[in-house]
Structure 1
Amino acid sequence: MSLLEKIRNRNAIIGIIGLGYVGIPLALSSSKAGFRVVGFDILPQRIEGLNARKSPIKYIRDADIAKMVDAGFEATGDFSRSKECDALIICVPTPLNKSREPDLSFVTSTTELIAPHFREEQLLSLESTTWPGTTEELLLPYIAKAGLTVGEDFYLVYSPEREDPGNTHFTPQTIPKIVGGKSPRCLEAGKALYGSFIDTIVPVSSTQTAEMVKLVENIYRSVNIGLVNELKIVAEAMGLDIFEVIDAAKTKPFGYTAYYPGPGVGGHCIPIDPFYLTWKAREFGLHTRFIELAGEINASMPQYVATKVVQALNTKGKSMNGAKILALGIAYKRNVDDVRESPSVTVLKLLYEWGAVVSYSDPYVSAFPKMRDHAFNLESIDLCPETIASYDAVILLTDHNDFDYKMIEANSDILIDTRGKYRNNANIIRA
C-alpha cells in the first residue's frame, strides 16, 4: 500500500521525534485524527512519564495524554522503531551556540539515529526552525545514502512549527500549516499528511521558501518588540506611559499592530531565529543590520530593568549589595512553564551578580531548572502579605494570571513593573 493510501485510510503510523512543546501537541492532534502515533525522545524520564499518562507540560492536561495513550500512543527511546513509521516528523531544538551561531547538532544526531532505518514509501518532515536550505543540505544526503530517491520512493518536506505555548485561542489543528516539498510529489504527500489533522494547509514552492517563512514570522516580531522596547525607554524619559500610548494607538483600524514592551524577549523562537538568517546572509556577503539592531535592543533590556531596580533602591537609601529582591515570574511569558531564553532569568542573574539576595515566585516553575548559562539553587516561594513585605524590592517580570496583584501592590515597599500591569499608581516604578 502506498503512503498516500495509508494516510487517506488512517492506517499510517506517525513518528514524532522530540516530545517537547512542539512534539506533544502535534502527537495529540494526529492521534485525535485517528492515527497511531509513536513518540521518540532521548530523555528516559520524559518517556516514562508519557507512557504513565503524565503530561510534562503544565498547560497540557494529564487527561489528554491518557486519552492519547488509550488510542495507541507509545513513547520510546528506541530509534530503530522509526522503521515502523510511515511518516517521521522531527521536532527537536535548534539553539544557538556560545558564539551565537546556529547549532543543528540535535537535528544531525536525530537524523543519524533514524537514517539507518529509512525505507521506501516513508515521509520525513523537519519542523525545527532553521535557515533556508537546511532541509536539502542536511537531510537529503542521508536519504541518498540509504539508496532511496526523493520524490519517487521517499518523500521529504519542511513544515515549520507555529506553536504558541499556552495560547488557548489556537491549537495545532486550527493554526494554518506551511508545507514545502523537495518535489511536487513530496509536496502532495506533505499536504496529505498534515491536511488529515490540520484545518488549513498553505503550500509553498519549496522547502527553502517554507524555511524562510518561519524566519520572517519571528523576525517581524523581534523587530517590532525591539522597536517598542526602545520607545519604552524614550517614553519613560519623557514621563509618558508607553502602555497608554500603545493602547491609544491600536484604536486605529488600519496600518498599526500593537506590540508591547517587556524585560526582553524569550522562548525558543524570537531570541534565536533571527540569528539563523543573519548567519546565513553572510554566505551571500550581506549584513542584516536592521535585524541585528533589534536583537541588540531586546538583549539589552534585562540590564535596563536591573538598573531600574538599583535606582529604586537608591531612592529609599538602600544599597543593591545585600538587598532582598523578589522576582515574580521566571517563565519567558505568562501562564507557561517554559524558561528557555527567558529575560526574567537574565534579570535575576544580573541582580545576583550585583550583590542582591534573590528569590523568585512562579506558579508554573516550582524549582529553578538547570540551564546552560544560569544556575540557581532556588525554589519558588509561596506569596502572602508577610512574605511580600519582607523584601526590599519586588519586581514583576512575568505577568502570570495566578498572581494576586492587589495583594502584591498593597504589601510591597518597592514594586517595579516591567509588564504594564499596574497602570494607575504613581508609586510603582515602570521598567
Structure 2
Amino acid sequence: MSVQQELIKRLQERSAVIGIIGLGYVGLPLMLRYVELGYHVLGFDNDPSKVEQLNAGQSPIEHIHSDQIADAVGCGLFEATSDMSRASQADALIICVPTPLDRYRQPDLSYVVGTTDAVVPHMRFGQVVSLESTTYPGTTEEELAPRIGSGGLKVGEDIFLVYSPEREDPANPDFKTQTIPKVCGGYSPACQEVGQALYGQVVDRVVPVSSARAAEMTKLLENIHRAVNIGLVNEMKMVADRMGIDIYEVIDAAATKPFGFVPYYPGPGLGGHCIPIDPFYLTWKAREYGLNTRFIELAGEVNSSMPEWVLRKLADALNARGKAVHGSRILILGIAYKKNVDDMRESPAVEMMEYLREQGAVLAYSDPHVPSFPPMREHQFDLEHTPISEETLAAQDCVLIATDHDAVDYDQVQKYAPLIVDTRGVYRDRTDPKIVRA
C-alpha cells in the first residue's frame, strides 16, 4: 500500500491523529467536530495561557461553551500544547492562524510562514498539511510547498498539501462546521484525494476544485462579494441620507423582488477577520500581473470611510444641542464587530473610539459579550463593560450604537438616553427627535 493510500485509509477509518494549529474561532469548532466523530486531536497554540485554559476544560470563546471543551478533554480525545515538536505525532496538520494586514495594508503572512517553519523540522512521511487561513492565490504553492519540501520530503508523494478555506460564521445558529460545504484544492491530484479524505468525514459536502490556487481565489471571491455589496449599500445610505430618504425602507421594498436582488444592510464599517482584509490580499497580488482592481478598491474606500461618516453625524448632532465632542460623555453600545459575539477583530467601534478619545470625549462602553477591553495589537483602552441602567444612560451626552446585540434593552436606551446615534437601524421604524441615523 502506498503512503497516500495508507494515509487515506487512516483518515477514513478515523484512526488518524488530527493536529490543529491555532485554537481560535476557526480551530476550536473544527477540533470539536473531529472529536465528535472519535478522532484524536492534538491542538497547537503559541499562547501558553490559552493552552492551560483549554486543558482545564475552559473555553476562551464565548459562543463555544466550556462544557464542550471539558467533554473533549475528559474523553481523552483532545489535548492542547505549545510544543511544536509534537507535530510529528499528527497524521494531519491543519493550519488556522491569522493572516492580517501590515501597517501599509499589505498581506502579512508572518503567522503562516512562521508556523510552517516551526513544524517543518518535525514533519514526516505520510502526513497531510492543510492551510485554512485566508490568503492570496499562490500562497500554498509559492510559500508552503517549498518550505515543506526543503527537508527532503517530496510534496505529492511523501507528504501531501492542500488549501481548504475556513468558512466559520461565529454564533450563526443556522450553520455549523458539519453543514457548511468545504472547498478543497490540492497541490497535486494525489494531494487532492488526501484532502477530500481529511474533510470527507467531518463535513456533509466537500467541494473539490482543480488547484490550491482556485480554492484560494474562491475564498477571496466569497468575501469580496460581500465587501463590494456592503460598500454599495453604505454609499446608498449616504446618498439616501442627504436626500431625506429612509434607506431601510428602500432596502425592504427592493427585497420584495423575487429574483435578481439580495438585501445587504449598511453599518458603521466592516469588521471581523475576513471582509475588511481579504480584498487587500487580492488587490496586492493582482499588481504582480499588472492589474488594478479598481472596483474592489473603490468598495474598500467606501467601507473604510464609514466610521468617519458616522462620527461627523455624531459631532453634528452634539453641535445641534450646543455641545462639542470634547468633554462630552459618550457611551459606545456594542464594541464587538458583529452582534451576539465577543469577537473584537477589526471592529469599527474601536476605530471610532480612537477618534473620540483623540477629540477629548469621555468614553465608556457597554457590551455584555466583552466584560473588559481586550489586549489588541494596535488599540489599548483601560475600560470595562458598563451595565446599562437608567442612571448610566441619563448621565451620557450621547449613546452611539455601534453593534446591535440582542441582549440590550433598546426601549430602555431610548427612554433614558438624551441622544442616540444609531448605526445599525435598531430604531428604523421609530420616529424620535433624539435618534440620529448614521
**Pairwise TM-score range, normalised by the shorter structure:** over 0.9
Once the two structures are superposed, residues 71-96 of structure 1 have per-residue CA deviations (whole angstroms, 9 ceiling, x without a partner) of: 32000000110100000000000000
CA distance in 1, matches of 2:299, 2:432: 30
The CA deviation at 1:304 is 0.6
SS of match in other structure, 2:162: strand
Matched, 1:240 2:245: yes
The CA deviation at 1:5 is 1.2
CA distance in 2, matches of 1:261, 1:130: 26
Gaps in structure 2 of 5+ consecutive residues: none
SS of match in other structure, 2:353: helix
Once the two structures are superposed, residues 81-114 of structure 1 have per-residue CA deviations (whole angstroms, 9 ceiling, x without a partner) of: 0100000000000000000000000011101111
CA distance in 2, matches of 1:26, 1:252: 37
**Structure 1 stretch displaced more, 421-430 or 99-108:** 421-430
Matched, 1:46 2:31: no
The CA deviation at 1:195 is 0.7
CA distance in 2, matches of 1:359, 1:8: 52
CA distance in 2, matches of 1:33, 1:224: 38
CA distance in 2, matches of 1:248, 1:153: 57
SS of match in other structure, 1:146: coil
Gaps in structure 1 of 5+ consecutive residues: none
Count residues with an aligned counterpart.
431
Alignment-derived partner of residue 207 in structure 1: 212
SS of match in other structure, 2:307: helix
Alignment-derived partner of residue 12 in structure 2: 8
Alignment-derived partner of residue 392 in structure 1: 397
CA distance in 1, matches of 2:272, 2:96: 15
CA RMSD of aligned residues (A): 0.9
The CA deviation at 1:185 is 1.2
SS of match in other structure, 1:63: helix
The CA deviation at 1:146 is 1.7
Alignment-derived partner of residue 426 in structure 1: 432
SS of match in other structure, 2:20: strand
User: Identity rate of aligned residues, in percent?
Assistant: 59
The CA deviation at 1:22 is 0.4
CA distance in 2, matches of 1:172, 1:425: 41
The CA deviation at 1:238 is 1.1
Which of 75, 91, 96 is residue 86 of structure 1 equivalent to? Answer: 91
Matched, 1:326 2:331: yes
CA distance in 1, matches of 2:349, 2:225: 22
**Structure 1 stretch displaced more, 371-380 or 227-236:** 371-380
Once the two structures are superposed, residues 369-406 of structure 1 have per-residue CA deviations (whole angstroms, 9 ceiling, x without a partner) of: 22222221111101101110000000110000110110
Whether the aligned pair in 1 keeps the contact of 2:116 and 2:148 (CA below 8 Å) is no
Which of 270, 289, 292 is residue 287 of structure 1 equivalent to? Answer: 292
Whether the aligned pair in 1 keeps the contact of 2:44 and 2:82 (CA below 8 Å) is yes
SS of match in other structure, 2:229: helix
SS of match in other structure, 2:221: helix
Which of 53, 62, 65 is residue 58 of structure 1 equivalent to? Answer: 62
TM-score, normalization: structure 2? 0.97
Alignment-derived partner of residue 73 in structure 1: 78
Matched, 1:406 2:406: no
SS of match in other structure, 1:185: helix
Matched, 1:185 2:190: yes
Alignment-derived partner of residue 139 in structure 1: 144
CA distance in 2, matches of 1:117, 1:400: 44
CA distance in 2, matches of 1:155, 1:289: 37
Whether the aligned pair in 1 keeps the contact of 2:182 and 2:199 (CA below 8 Å) is yes
Counterpart residue type for residue 129 of structure 1: T
Matched, 1:372 2:380: no
The CA deviation at 1:143 is 2.1
The CA deviation at 1:420 is 0.3
SS of match in other structure, 1:346: helix
The CA deviation at 1:414 is 0.4
CA distance in 2, matches of 1:321, 1:121: 63
The CA deviation at 1:63 is 1.0
CA distance in 1, matches of 2:200, 2:431: 50
The CA deviation at 1:315 is 1.3
Once the two structures are superposed, residues 92-142 of structure 1 have per-residue CA deviations (whole angstroms, 9 ceiling, x without a partner) of: 000000000000000111011110011111000000011100001111112
The CA deviation at 1:320 is 1.3
CA distance in 1, matches of 2:190, 2:108: 30
Which of 198, 202, 207 is residue 197 of structure 1 equivalent to? Answer: 202
Whether the aligned pair in 1 keeps the contact of 2:337 and 2:348 (CA below 8 Å) is yes
CA distance in 2, matches of 1:112, 1:359: 42
CA distance in 2, matches of 1:386, 1:116: 60
Counterpart residue type for residue 419 of structure 1: R
CA distance in 2, matches of 1:111, 1:332: 29
The CA deviation at 1:412 is 0.8
SS of match in other structure, 2:288: helix
TM-score, normalization: structure 1? 0.99
Counterpart residue type for residue 437 of structure 2: R
Counterpart residue type for residue 64 of structure 1: Q
Whether the aligned pair in 1 keeps the contact of 2:337 and 2:346 (CA below 8 Å) is yes
Counterpart residue type for residue 32 of structure 1: E
The CA deviation at 1:70 is 2.3
The CA deviation at 1:310 is 0.6
Counterpart residue type for residue 227 of structure 1: L
Alignment-derived partner of residue 17 in structure 1: 21
CA distance in 2, matches of 1:122, 1:408: 55
Whether the aligned pair in 1 keeps the contact of 2:248 and 2:425 (CA below 8 Å) is yes
SS of match in other structure, 2:146: helix
